[in-house]
Homo-oligomer: A and B are copies of this chain.
Amino acid sequence: MRTSIATVCLSGTLDEKLLAAHAAGFDGVEIFEPDLVASPDSPEAIRGRAAELGLSLDLYQPFRDFEGVGPELLEQNLHRAAAKFALMNRLGIETMLLCSNVATARSGDEQLAAAQLRLLGGVAEQFGVRVAYEALAWGRFVDSYEAAARIVRLADHPRIGLCLDSFHILSKGHNPEAIETIAADRIFFVQMADAPLLSLDVLSWSRHHRLFPGEGAFDLATFMGHLVRTGYDGPVSLEVFNDTFRQSDPIATAVDARRSLRWLEHETAAALGTRAGGRAARMSTEALPEVDPPADINYVELRTGELAELRRLLAQLGFRSHGEHRTKDVELWTQGAARVVLGAPDSAHAQPTVAGVGLSVADPALAARRARELFSPEVPREEAAGEETLVGVRAPDGSEVFFGVAGGAEPKWVGEFRPPDAADAALIDRVDHVNLAQPWQHFDAAVLFFRSVLDLSAEATIEVAAPVGLVRSQVLHSSNGVLRIALNLVPSGAAEDAILPQHIAFATRDALALARTARERGFQPLDIPANYYDDLEARYQIDPDLLAELRELNVMYDRDESGEFLHFYTHPVGTVFLEIVERREGYAGYGALNAPIRLAAQYQHRRNTSRGVDA
């Protein structure tokens, strides 16, 4: 599959955009006209620069408001087009995108539009270029690819073909199946974009909220399947207008974009099965290595400057220390199958944070290969002789995912620490989920990373009110439910005073017993307001004894159609904290209703601490 990206997807100057597309491994780019017009470089210099970077210039875009006009305007439009064709000759670009008329068309007569396109084809021929006609979802008369295809067929000129854009087709709910009725040599170009499902006018939706494939809700693999079956083998290009990507580092965005196309290629191959069907498929769509879901969360790694406080909390919660690693500057704490690697921030982990997640998988080398094929940077790691080899990759936010071997009572690397001290019976069984706060510019990329690299499924996005703004939250889970990662988008305006809710939740079989035992060891949970328990009582007519115990122990409560959820929190230690959860009878959520209370309590705690009230 030949990959391309429109320069409008990326921030910066045209030169910076070309560099980013090259760095991310794209085959080519679409030149978005405003980027060219604003560039201080001549068309010839841009052509040379692209060649130097090994990028083909696949499309010049957009040309607007051409067809369906009166004779005088047609004359002007042909003049405009000739100027652009001359420019394309200087750039060495063969194909120009023509959007269906939104402003100046006076007639929807398809014969008229076709006749005018035929004239345009004649001019294009003089310049040795061609025109890809695209139906915009908000085109004045032409707003469906089927209408555009009819007009192109009527125009019947070798220089006039189609551009198919997944957004314009799927946003209107049009069935992409009829793509298969189009001759491959009439499809001059293909643009792909995903998007969240919004009830917003389609123009605003398109201009602000497009996403890279795999980050939204469109079924793009099916769309691509229809395309492959036509025999199309031209570029598959990303044209994504997105307010966030416009503000973000162009290289990071380009890598995210490139990953999205690799993922789409894989999904398409999977959807097509072994044969493309219909006409002979000429586009190669290669599947990624298939990996099983993780057997187990191998470990979680916490980096914090406040090690003593975290050790105290872990001990109070019943974790046992295995001391320091024999060669590395980290220590290990375990309880049941929950393993916490604890270290101070270092050069590779500058921020106090949940620095990484280890996964036990059937074939670590295969999992790493899949990640690499998805353009994930590898994390360098040194092992001393006899130590287990773990291979790791870096997520968009800088956190690490390491793959270790599944099987056996515990991972081999645990033996690289000393055996733990004796302890009470463990009440914690394993890690329930990991919550990674995402900087605003990495959220969508993180969804795609975890979805594609680890083959997780994305649940619906929810919003949670915090004292500093709305937090967007999305959970991704593995098919066997072992790995659950919650991504939180923290309001960007709140940077100075934000509580980055970076945390690990441990599963217990008895939250109340654990809370009580921990308290006997001196544990002070995050303080939950009395008003919360009064509200619980009003909402649920909850058993008075249970309510009294929840209230006494600062344990929160939720219900869903299948069961109950009991959970409590440690105080935040810097920007990291721990949660203990008990799922009764298959409760499947995360206590979302309680999240605002928790966020407010953490905010209050920080306010109190900074005022020295309970520092």
- Give complex CA distance A200, B208 in Å: 13
Quick check: is A244 within 8 A (CB to CB) of the other chain? Answer: yes
- Tell me, rounded to whole Å, the shortest Cβ–Cβ distance linking A421 to chain B: 37
- Give complex CA distance A199, B494 in Å: 28
CB pair A468 B247 closer than 8 Å: yes
CB pair A531 B244 closer than 8 Å: no
If the complex has contacts A40-B527, A529-B40, are A34 and B467 also in contact, measured as CB distance less than 8 A?
A: no
Quick check: is A408 within 8 A (CB to CB) of the other chain? Answer: no
Quick check: is A535 within 8 A (CB to CB) of the other chain? Answer: yes
Q: CB-defined interface of A193-231 with B at 8 Å, one 1/0 digit per residue?
A: 000001111001001100000000000000000000000
Quick check: is A304 within 8 A (CB to CB) of the other chain? Answer: no
- Give complex CA distance A87, B529 in Å: 15
Residues of B within 8 A of A492 (CB): 492-493
Contact partner, A531, options B38, B530, B535, B601, Cβ 8 Å: B38
A536 (CB) vs chain B CBs: closest residue: B37
CB pair B529 A38 closer than 8 Å: yes
Quick check: is A470 within 8 A (CB to CB) of the other chain? Answer: yes
- Give complex CA distance A127, B37 in Å: 70
CB pair B244 A493 closer than 8 Å: yes
CB pair A36 B469 closer than 8 Å: no
CB pair A37 B597 closer than 8 Å: yes
Quick check: is A76 within 8 A (CB to CB) of the other chain? Answer: yes
Quick check: is A377 within 8 A (CB to CB) of the other chain? Answer: no
A80 (CB) vs chain B CBs: closest residue: B538
Quick check: is A552 within 8 A (CB to CB) of the other chain? Answer: no
Quick check: is A42 within 8 A (CB to CB) of the other chain? Answer: yes
CB pair A247 B37 closer than 8 Å: no
Contact partner, A246, options B13, B80, B465, B604, Cβ 8 Å: B465
CB pair A537 B83 closer than 8 Å: yes
Q: CB-defined interface of A20-64 with B at 8 Å, one 1/0 digit per residue?
A: 000000000000011011111011000000000000000000000
Quick check: is A534 within 8 A (CB to CB) of the other chain? Answer: yes
- Give complex CA distance A530, B38 in Å: 9
* A216-272 at interface with B (beta carbon < 8 Å): 243-244, 246-248
* A436-491 at interface with B (beta carbon < 8 Å): 440-441, 463, 465, 467-470, 491
Quick check: is A12 within 8 A (CB to CB) of the other chain? Answer: yes
A46 (CB) vs chain B CBs: closest residue: B531
CB pair A534 B83 closer than 8 Å: yes
Residues of B within 8 A of A494 (CB): 247
Q: CB-defined interface of A169-210 with B at 8 Å, one 1/0 digit per residue?
A: 000000000000000000000000000001111001001100
The binding surface of chain A is classed by DSSP as helix
* A487-504 at interface with B (beta carbon < 8 Å): 491-494
- Give complex CA distance A248, B247 in Å: 21
CB pair A38 B600 closer than 8 Å: yes
Quick check: is A417 within 8 A (CB to CB) of the other chain? Answer: no
- Give complex CA distance A534, B79 in Å: 13
- Give complex CA distance A441, B604 in Å: 23
- Give complex CA distance A378, B332 in Å: 60
- Tell me, rounded to whole Å, the shortest Cβ–Cβ distance linking A29 to chain B: 16
Among A38, A534, A596, which residue has the most Cβ atoms of chain B within 10 A?
A: A38
Quick check: is A607 within 8 A (CB to CB) of the other chain? Answer: yes
A43 (CB) vs chain B CBs: closest residue: B531
CB pair B603 A530 closer than 8 Å: no
CB pair A603 B244 closer than 8 Å: no
A599 (CB) vs chain B CBs: closest residue: B38
Quick check: is A570 within 8 A (CB to CB) of the other chain? Answer: no
Quick check: is A539 within 8 A (CB to CB) of the other chain? Answer: yes
Quick check: is A551 within 8 A (CB to CB) of the other chain? Answer: no
Residues of B within 8 A of A43 (CB): 531
- Tell me, rounded to whole Å, the shortest Cβ–Cβ distance linking A524 to chain B: 15
Among A40, A527, A539, which residue has the most Cβ atoms of chain B within 10 A?
A: A40
- Give complex CA distance A199, B202 in Å: 9
CB pair A38 B532 closer than 8 Å: yes
CB pair B604 A40 closer than 8 Å: yes
Residues of B within 8 A of A596 (CB): 34, 38
- Tell me, rounded to whole Å, the shortest Cβ–Cβ distance linking A499 to chain B: 13
- Give complex CA distance A494, B249 in Å: 10
- Tell me, rounded to whole Å, the shortest Cβ–Cβ distance linking A217 to chain B: 15
Contact partner, A469, options B246, B491, B541, Cβ 8 Å: B246
Quick check: is A84 within 8 A (CB to CB) of the other chain? Answer: yes
CB pair B538 A83 closer than 8 Å: yes
- Give complex CA distance A535, B39 in Å: 12
Residues of B within 8 A of A607 (CB): 13
Quick check: is A100 within 8 A (CB to CB) of the other chain? Answer: no
Quick check: is A11 within 8 A (CB to CB) of the other chain? Answer: yes
Contact partner, A37, options B79, B87, B532, Cβ 8 Å: B532
- Give complex CA distance A207, B462 in Å: 13
Contact partner, A13, options B34, B465, B604, Cβ 8 Å: B604
Q: Would you list the 6 A-B pairs with minimal beta carbon distance, nearest first?
A: A83-B538, A199-B201, A38-B600, A247-B493, A247-B469, A246-B469
What is A's interface to B at a CB cutoff of 8 Å? 11-13, 33-34, 36-40, 42-43, 76, 79-80, 83-84, 87, 198-201, 204, 207-208, 243-244, 246-248, 440-441, 463, 465, 467-470, 491-494, 527, 529-532, 534-535, 537-539, 541, 596-597, 600-601, 603-604, 607
